[in-house]
Structure 1
Amino acid sequence: MTDRDPDAPLLVLVDGSSYLYRAFHAMPDLRAVPGDPSSPPTGAIRGMINMLQALQKDYPSQHMAVVFDASGPTFREALYPSYKAHRAPMPDDLRAQIAPIHEVIGLLGLPVLVVPQVEADDVIGTLARTAADQGWRVIISSGDKDLSQLVDSRITIIDTMSGKVRDVAGVEAEFGVPPRLMVDYQTLVGDAIDNVPGVDKVGPKTAAKWLQTYGSLDGVVAHAHEIKGVAGENLRRALDWLPLGRQLLTIRTDCDLAGHVPGLPALDALRKREPDTAALQHFYQRYGFRSLARALGEATGPQAANGAASEAPAGETPAVPALRYTTVLDWPTFDAWLERLRAAPLVAFDTETTSLDAMAARLVGLSWSVAPGEAAYVPLAHDYPGAPAQLPLQAVLERLRPWLEDATAPKCGQHVKYDQHVLANHGITARGYVHDTLLQSYVLEVHKPHNLESLAERHLGRRGLGYEDLCGKGAAQIPFAQVALERATPYACEDAEMCLAVHQVLWPRLQAEPGLQRIYELEMAVSDVLLRMERHGVLIDADALRRQSQALGERIVALEAEAHALAGQPFNLGSPKQIAEIFFGKLGLPVIKKTATGAPSTDEEVLEKLAEDYPLPARILEHRSLSKLKSTYTDKLPAMVNPATGRVHTHYGQAVAVTGRLASNDPNLQNIPIRTPEGRRIREAFIAPPGWCIASADYSQIELRIMAHLSEDAALLRAFAEGQDVHRATAAEVFGLAPEQVSPEQRRYAKVINFGLIYGMSPYGLAKALGIDATAARNYIERYFERFAGVRAYMERTREQAKARGYVETVFGRRLVLPEINSPNGPRRAAAERAAINAPMQGTAADLIKMSMVAVQQAIDQGARRTRMILQVHDELVFEVPPEEIDWVRSEVPRLMAAVATLRVPLVAEVGVGANWEQAH
């Protein structure tokens, strides 16, 4: 930003109308009552508050104004009745938020200006010019390029959402003309948004070139007879219009603002006031902005903070109890607490450890809470200068062992699977965990964060100590064992005490909804199964992977050489810029699509399209695929073998996917590619112990079966009931043939249609998948819906239910929230509608595989069998099986999986057995 006097006073002017729309479209469809589409919309309000707070932080100033357009006509409509005639009406949900936005801006202490019959741009222009003429610096915050005509050495435009700065140099760099010529530039180009025509077929480049050549619009007009071609003809036809166009597009800087900004040209009326904190608290609570209310309370002192919590709706944010936290450093205190643990109806238990890696973490301390506000911390391994003597770790664990391993001693925690792992690392099999606040939140509010800090903020109105507050960040971070006990105790006690308090809020909500309670109980049972799977781990053939890695490396090097030969020069196969230069500059390959900046794209989709006809893109794709396999699996997996167990131990995240599917990470064993021989070869390295086998059991066409159940479509139900090949049956219906007449190609088409519709595939997507034109794809979809009318009815019914309720449900009651289902943003709303159709199927499939995990594990335990469940991948369960139990696995596992639920179509599970995972398929 260029300033004549950097010490001059600063005026910040906010284009409130620009902010309004940007906040509205940037934010999700928030409501005052979350999940209730009938409650007032709040997304734009929250977005405006966020944007204004960020602006004030980045550009602090004592003088500021937020300027909005007034309703009704301005002088421009009198000059040109068609001005802004094509603008769509303001969305109802945005209009409903205008008044509260004006209200909250005033409560924040910022002047709000709405001047009748004067556009916001003209108000901004007048104030900016007034301030600049008095030697002030002016910053205009807006995304509107039209305001660029105001820029000079004292006036700068900043776009907080894009980070763009339009000073004098910035305007010229962006548009090719200096700010003084921006009105001329806009007059030539026109403004389609405001329905102000320019010169037909004259775009930004031509306009800038003419102005650079002739110096101004007047110069262009004077030389209009010299300009050749169609553009010249169009210019000459527009000569009579240009003066009016220029008048419409010129921002006025001389508006009469008397009565709205008293005392002009002095700017005292634009001085910020102190925020009205009491009214702001009430406003934030009225619109459900709990974190804003909490932050305001913390900023204004404990009285306000406590007031915010106590004024919140009953049952949602209980008052903070008096806190009684104890550090346990001697045996009498420990023994007294142990008696309380044994007598308590429920104990929240937590561990402090050395690592986030559950299999490697060791204890630093233990905490628990048995009553509101009351908790204790037992430090076990704090080691820093001056640290007090602590009870011996092993002796503490031995005294706790009977209680920890007692299945009848009720316990709760936050992410209990992790704590069970940590205790298991010390030889303790923790039992009796009946509640997990992480999973309670996941079932009740799947679309929100589930960490304890977020849960405490949402449900208790409390903000606890953060780990980084105690230990620091990055390279300077210290281990928890080095944190002084006077700081460690409140942190550790808080974890247990807030966990118990969150449970007391969430558990009654689950009990009030039997469907969700059943899902929560399923998740708790699955957590126990996952703990056993994670601890057991997976046996891999590290030597086989190393050999694969070497072979992949040799092929990668060969592909690189082939690519260089095809390009006629060496280049970096990972550089989009170099690839583009070779593809489109040197080899002249066709441009499939362009990036946002107008450059030819070389993304995956483009490479796949070009690879159909050209060898170089095909080599690059193969090079990328093999490089990813090598780095992600063949190189990485051998290094992840746990030296203590000789196995790889993945972690399954339950509270991740909104559909209920499990997520595997560190390493991710669910995304091993199986469409290529190299990918399938990786699964050959997943082996059984000597003499044992690997068994794989998976559901057959589970999502299509769920579609048949949900839609009750007669043709689909009949196909599954009769055990038909459902894709062949679909093809027979769509193409009007007998099943035996369906060709392999027609069956393939039907398969793509079946699965595509589940995922909301459009005619364009189907055309692309099948390699046909969009009209043919649209005809196929129409024919499908004619033959399977129940599917169409299900989709329409589900969309309407989702819009009305804000969520959909699985067959078993899992709730899948769709925050964007009523979004005014078209693409977001369309994506939510597709999710509304697909989520019940994916979610029901997730429920079924989880029910199967529990049922099969129970059968294994009841029969005292040695078979071990080792992997869960989408609709598949993988086992290690001793030779004497192979027949049992072949017969009983598919029976158990098919029997976990009764749908309108039979569930079918199939089992394969082999020496490794690939052979078991």
Structure 2
Amino acid sequence: MNKTLYLVDGSSYLFRAFFSPGLNRLTSQDGHPTGVMYGVTNMLKRMLDEYDPEYMVVVFDAKGKTFRHDMYAEYKANRPPMPDDLRMQLQPTKDLIKAMGIPMLEIPHVEADDVIGTLVKKAESLGIETLVSTSDKDLAQLVSDHVTLVNTMSDVVLDVAGVKEKFGVEPEQIIDYLALIGDSSDNIPGVNKVGPKTAVKWLHEYGTVDNIIAHAEEFKGKVGEYLREGIEQLKLSRELVVIKKDCDVDYQPGDFALQEKDIGRLNDIGQQYDMKRFAELKAEDVKQQVSEPRIEYTCIQDMETLEQWLSAIKHAGLVAFDLETDSLNPIGARLVGMSFSHSAGAAAYVPLAHETEEPQLPLDDVLQAVIPVMQSVDVVGQHFKYDLNVLSGYGQQITSQKFDTMLESYVLNAAASRHDMDSLAALYLDKKTTKYEDICGKGAKQIPFAQVSLADATHYAAEDADITLQLHHELWSRLSTAEQKKVFTDLEMPLVQVLAGMEQTGVLLDSEELARQSEQLAIRMADLEEQAHELAGKSFNLGSPKQLQTILFEEQGLPVLKKTATGQASTSEDVLQDLSGEYELPAVILEYRSLSKLKSTYTDKLPLEVNAKTGRVHTSYHQAVAITGRLSSANPNLQNIPIRTKEGRQVRKAFVAPEGWVLMAADYSQIELRIMAHLSGDENLLAAFNNDVDVHSQTASQVFETPLEEVSSEQRRAAKAINFGLMYGMSAFGLSKQLHISRKEASKYMKQYFAQYPKVAGFIESVKQQAAEQGYLDTLFGRRLFFPEINNRNARVRSGAERAAINAPMQGSAADIIKQAMLAVHEQIAGADDIRMIMQVHDELVFEVRREQAADWSEKIKSLMEQVVQLDVPLVVDYGVGDNWDEAH
């Protein structure tokens, strides 16, 4: 029987799905959670697609205690009860698996690991290979020449060599390794203070736990004491982690043959829980569900066929439109082809510049025929801003785009998934799409799209249009009835055209200025390197964490404040920051790192970003990244240009205006604090802004018990850190670190702050409570911000989500306001030839303005931005004008 048995750790799948940020908010219309049902069946479908197994079984943990509880009463004592949302999905998930035709096993009083271990042993005795799908490290002890583990979520495959690479020991040593380090989730004790690094070291030296125990007296120091004290505990731990291979499982692998799907049952479950991919199954779909044959799309190679398709598109009134090019950079990219779809399964590709002898239509003829039709119907795109930028290079524009599936998904739930087409197709349509690498290859062997055969190019490109249209129908059916629909229709979609125009315009860069800065940075870095070598008493590589660990913590004896995941002393920035208060070398290293990053990321790299055709830098703005709605940018990343150091601010000098023009920067002042005042309704905070009192000085006056007129600049800086820190959910510990004060003093400052602004404290607590209860918060303008980890049982993860939730209403509302300002400004300057909007960074808009009109436009833009929304406090915009961005800022 020359077959492979596929064993699925069902319990592992359940928890992976339950804690997946993209799944744990999915529910049916009546509120029944469905994320686990989706997640588990998605993972199983992926197993079926990738391995096409003949024999497969999903193994679940049974209810109740097991033999391990008899051995150790505290086994798994730390585990909280199963969450209700997971328990509610257990039986429906199992019903789905059964209806999918996949065998299941659940043996009373036996854990899934032991059932899997027993089946592995039986398969080996029959000469059958086994592949186990799990994320459980305990199962690594089963790996052999005939047993492999695979984690379908991360695509990590563990064979014998893989186990050794991942854990540092052989598979047969995994039991002893696990016994030494213990397992907090199962409450297996292990040896006190022994982590993975120590366990690997001991097993390399002694081979086994038995040998370690035999030589226990030879272990020195505190860890040796812990070992000797915990020998009996270590023996118990080893017994607990051993996976049994002799359970009473009366099955042969041949019993696990996959069965036909029960289409009727899948349909019933799908309708009951509003799971569309199952609810729409019909008996005649059985063959398609099993084999999913490749759809044959149309390749358009003559004008008559093109005209027929364009006529059908006009009749439909809605079309998904997509371009294929020769570059990821849209500015200057060359068109290779285009595709469109007007109904599900009906899609076509028009090849334009493939390197083939087959007939292709002339580009100009196609553009003249296609663009007017696109302008006459509603266009659907996926990240269509890219396509708009490509078309601009051919003097073409499309202003009829009404939908973008990337943005529909983003507005619906920014945290649910990545928003690329492949991820969305898998999540919302349960479809596996053709990847670019599938037809072009990977790495050094990848070929340009223009060299792909027309048959493969047609399927790939037309499928993109087809899937995009199907995604739109699915996403719009969800979004059109959602409260956040207005954010999509009134904000995100109109902004696409605005951002496209900004990207096409770009910004002028002074490369000579950057070269000068690079030279100065190199000189300063050399000085710092020499200074560091003198302080260390030897030469070393400042960029090597390993060498730095040795010098700081072993040779100079500095305190170890934090360790890495592998147990090494951390040399991270926050650690060096803490150490630099008392030690000179960490301060020198920090400055060197800062300058090195500035040089490599900006002064050296920015000139390479200049487009040869336009002579300008064209950043790409990303709408669908930050969950708060903020824009981000790349190539170059304008959001991260440092402004807190003198050297960082110098980089802005290289962003310059063309001759006869100036740069004008308009920046919202303290916008998030103003939104906090509006949302909290705190009288003192409202009064400060409405009476034009400096809010940082007012806070300093209260916290430091100093008359307002006597507040020092140092006290104001500290108050500024308090104002913004508490708005970002900072704890007393965090505030003490930032201000370099004791935690007791930081707690005192926080108490005095909340005494001054009592409604702010109430607002923060209500935000945390609302986020925990709902899993989301709304901005002032209806953008829904989801926090999938807000109720995570891991305290560190949960605290991070709470901090994000505290600030999110302010940051999200500020993002919405700057976007509304961009739309208003765009409308105001449309058609003007003396001003253009070129950058958006945080709360700031940057313009190129003709020098003689700068004063007039500055006042107009300031007034427009300040009036774009009405809050209980005034919005204030500061502006500046100069020959470069630094001067304007």
Provide the TM-score with structure 2 as the length reference.
Answer: 0.84
Whole-Å Cα distance in 2 between the matches of residues 431 and 226 of structure 1?
Answer: 78
Summarize the Cα distance change of 1:194–1:410 in structure 2 as closer, same or farther, 3 Å threshold. closer
| Structure 2 counterpart of 1:392 | 362
On the 8 A contact 2:176/2:209 being kept in 1, the answer is no
On the 8 A contact 1:127/1:253 being kept in 2, the answer is no
Whole-Å Cα distance in 1 between the matches of residues 329 and 68 of structure 2?
Answer: 67
Question: What's the CA shift for 1:480?
Answer: 2.9
Q: 39-48 or 603-612: which moved more?
A: 39-48
Indicate yes or no: 2:744 matched with 1:758: no
- Deviation sequence 1:413-460 (CA, Å, 0-9, x none): 333322222222112244333333333333223233333444455555
Whole-Å Cα distance in 2 between the matches of residues 324 and 250 of structure 1?
Answer: 54
Q: 409-418 or 123-132: which moved more?
A: 123-132
On the 8 A contact 1:870/1:880 being kept in 2, the answer is yes
3-state SS of the aligned residue for 1:559? helix
For 1:545-560, list aligned pairs within 5 A.
Answer: 545-560=514-529
3-state SS of the aligned residue for 2:655? coil
Whole-Å Cα distance in 2 between the matches of residues 683 and 227 of structure 1?
Answer: 58
Whole-Å Cα distance in 1 between the matches of residues 367 and 130 of structure 2?
Answer: 66
On the 8 A contact 2:267/2:281 being kept in 1, the answer is no
| Structure 2 counterpart of 1:724 | 693
Question: What's the CA shift for 1:595?
Answer: 1.7
On the 8 A contact 1:348/1:411 being kept in 2, the answer is yes
Summarize the Cα distance change of 1:297–1:889 in structure 2 as closer, same or farther, 3 Å threshold. farther
On the 8 A contact 1:659/1:839 being kept in 2, the answer is yes
On the 8 A contact 2:866/2:875 being kept in 1, the answer is yes
| Structure 2 counterpart of 1:908 | 876
Whole-Å Cα distance in 2 between the matches of residues 400 and 234 of structure 1?
Answer: 76
Indicate yes or no: 2:288 matched with 1:302: yes
The one-letter code matched in structure 1 to 2:302 is L
Match of 2:300 among 296, 306, 327: 327
Whole-Å Cα distance in 2 between the matches of residues 130 and 643 of structure 1?
Answer: 65
| Structure 1 counterpart of 2:676 | 707
Q: 827-836 or 371-380: which moved more?
A: 371-380
Whole-Å Cα distance in 2 between the matches of residues 616 and 379 of structure 1?
Answer: 61
Question: What's the CA shift for 1:843?
Answer: 1.3
Summarize the Cα distance change of 1:773–1:336 in structure 2 as closer, same or farther, 3 Å threshold. same
- Deviation sequence 1:446-496 (CA, Å, 0-9, x none): 233333444455555655544334333333333333334344344444444
For 1:397-436, list aligned pairs within 5 A.
Answer: 397-398=367-368, 410-436=378-404
- Deviation sequence 1:814-847 (CA, Å, 0-9, x none): 1222233344444333333322222221111111
Summarize the Cα distance change of 1:563–1:733 in structure 2 as closer, same or farther, 3 Å threshold. closer
Indicate yes or no: 2:327 matched with 1:355: yes
The one-letter code matched in structure 2 to 1:714 is E
Indicate yes or no: 2:78 matched with 1:92: no
Summarize the Cα distance change of 1:592–1:524 in structure 2 as closer, same or farther, 3 Å threshold. same
Summarize the Cα distance change of 1:761–1:299 in structure 2 as closer, same or farther, 3 Å threshold. farther
Summarize the Cα distance change of 1:912–1:475 in structure 2 as closer, same or farther, 3 Å threshold. same
Whole-Å Cα distance in 2 between the matches of residues 631 and 238 of structure 1?
Answer: 51
Which 5+ residue runs of structure 1 have no aligned equivalent?
1-6, 308-319
For 1:554-573, list aligned pairs within 5 A.
Answer: 554-573=523-542
Whole-Å Cα distance in 2 between the matches of residues 210 and 431 of structure 1?
Answer: 67
Match of 2:838 among 870, 885, 905: 870
Question: What's the CA shift for 1:706?
Answer: 0.8
Whole-Å Cα distance in 2 between the matches of residues 601 and 227 of structure 1?
Answer: 26
Indicate yes or no: 2:372 matched with 1:380: no
Question: What's the CA shift for 1:700?
Answer: 0.4
Whole-Å Cα distance in 2 between the matches of residues 670 and 854 of structure 1?
Answer: 20
The one-letter code matched in structure 2 to 1:920 is A
- Deviation sequence 1:663-702 (CA, Å, 0-9, x none): 2111122211111121111111111122322111000000
Whole-Å Cα distance in 1 between the matches of residues 657 and 217 of structure 2?
Answer: 86
Question: What's the CA shift for 1:247?
Answer: 11
On the 8 A contact 1:698/1:877 being kept in 2, the answer is yes
Whole-Å Cα distance in 1 between the matches of residues 321 and 170 of structure 2?
Answer: 65
| Structure 2 counterpart of 1:114 | 107
Whole-Å Cα distance in 1 between the matches of residues 839 and 200 of structure 2?
Answer: 63
Whole-Å Cα distance in 2 between the matches of residues 456 and 191 of structure 1?
Answer: 38
Q: In percent, how many aligned pairs have the same letter?
A: 45
3-state SS of the aligned residue for 2:355? coil
Provide the TM-score with structure 1 as the length reference.
Answer: 0.81
For 1:672-687, list aligned pairs within 5 A.
Answer: 672-687=641-656
Match of 1:539 among 508, 516, 522: 508
Question: What's the CA shift for 1:176?
Answer: 12
Summarize the Cα distance change of 1:112–1:882 in structure 2 as closer, same or farther, 3 Å threshold. same
Whole-Å Cα distance in 2 between the matches of residues 387 and 207 of structure 1?
Answer: 61
On the 8 A contact 1:31/1:43 being kept in 2, the answer is yes
| Structure 1 counterpart of 2:778 | 809
On the 8 A contact 2:55/2:258 being kept in 1, the answer is no
3-state SS of the aligned residue for 2:64? coil
CA RMSD in angstroms comes to: 5.0
3-state SS of the aligned residue for 1:724? coil
Whole-Å Cα distance in 1 between the matches of residues 174 and 486 of structure 2?
Answer: 66
Whole-Å Cα distance in 2 between the matches of residues 773 and 494 of structure 1?
Answer: 61
| Structure 2 counterpart of 1:315 | none
Match of 1:917 among 881, 885, 889: 885
3-state SS of the aligned residue for 1:365? strand
Count of aligned pairs between the two proteins: 881
The one-letter code matched in structure 2 to 1:567 is A
On the 8 A contact 1:367/1:376 being kept in 2, the answer is yes
Q: 640-649 or 199-208: which moved more?
A: 199-208
Q: 275-284 or 733-742: which moved more?
A: 275-284
On the 8 A contact 2:505/2:618 being kept in 1, the answer is yes
On the 8 A contact 1:65/1:110 being kept in 2, the answer is yes
Whole-Å Cα distance in 2 between the matches of residues 480 and 207 of structure 1?
Answer: 48
On the 8 A contact 1:102/1:112 being kept in 2, the answer is no
Match of 2:661 among 692, 702, 705: 692
Q: 609-618 or 627-636: which moved more?
A: 609-618
Q: 814-823 or 61-70: which moved more?
A: 61-70
Whole-Å Cα distance in 2 between the matches of residues 783 and 119 of structure 1?
Answer: 54
Q: 490-499 or 585-594: which moved more?
A: 490-499
Q: 703-712 or 425-434: which moved more?
A: 425-434
On the 8 A contact 1:353/1:362 being kept in 2, the answer is yes
Question: What's the CA shift for 1:587?
Answer: 2.9
Question: What's the CA shift for 1:801?
Answer: 2.8
Which 5+ residue runs of structure 2 have no aligned equivalent?
none
The one-letter code matched in structure 2 to 1:893 is I
The one-letter code matched in structure 2 to 1:473 is K
Whole-Å Cα distance in 1 between the matches of residues 316 and 56 of structure 2?
Answer: 59
| Structure 2 counterpart of 1:769 | 738
3-state SS of the aligned residue for 1:918? helix
Summarize the Cα distance change of 1:298–1:143 in structure 2 as closer, same or farther, 3 Å threshold. farther
Whole-Å Cα distance in 1 between the matches of residues 546 and 284 of structure 2?
Answer: 49
Match of 1:477 among 446, 454, 462: 446
Indicate yes or no: 2:491 matched with 1:522: yes
Question: What's the CA shift for 1:71?
Answer: 0.7
Larger Rg: 1
On the 8 A contact 2:277/2:429 being kept in 1, the answer is no
Question: What's the CA shift for 1:142?
Answer: 7.7
Q: 898-907 or 153-162: which moved more?
A: 153-162
Question: What's the CA shift for 1:604?
Answer: 1.6
3-state SS of the aligned residue for 2:885? coil
Q: 760-769 or 283-292: which moved more?
A: 283-292
Whole-Å Cα distance in 1 between the matches of residues 195 and 492 of structure 2?
Answer: 59
Whole-Å Cα distance in 1 between the matches of residues 715 and 16 of structure 2?
Answer: 48
| Structure 2 counterpart of 1:442 | 410
| Structure 2 counterpart of 1:313 | none
On the 8 A contact 1:712/1:790 being kept in 2, the answer is yes
Q: 353-362 or 139-148: which moved more?
A: 139-148
Summarize the Cα distance change of 1:466–1:719 in structure 2 as closer, same or farther, 3 Å threshold. same
Summarize the Cα distance change of 1:231–1:401 in structure 2 as closer, same or farther, 3 Å threshold. closer
3-state SS of the aligned residue for 2:656? coil
| Structure 2 counterpart of 1:644 | 613
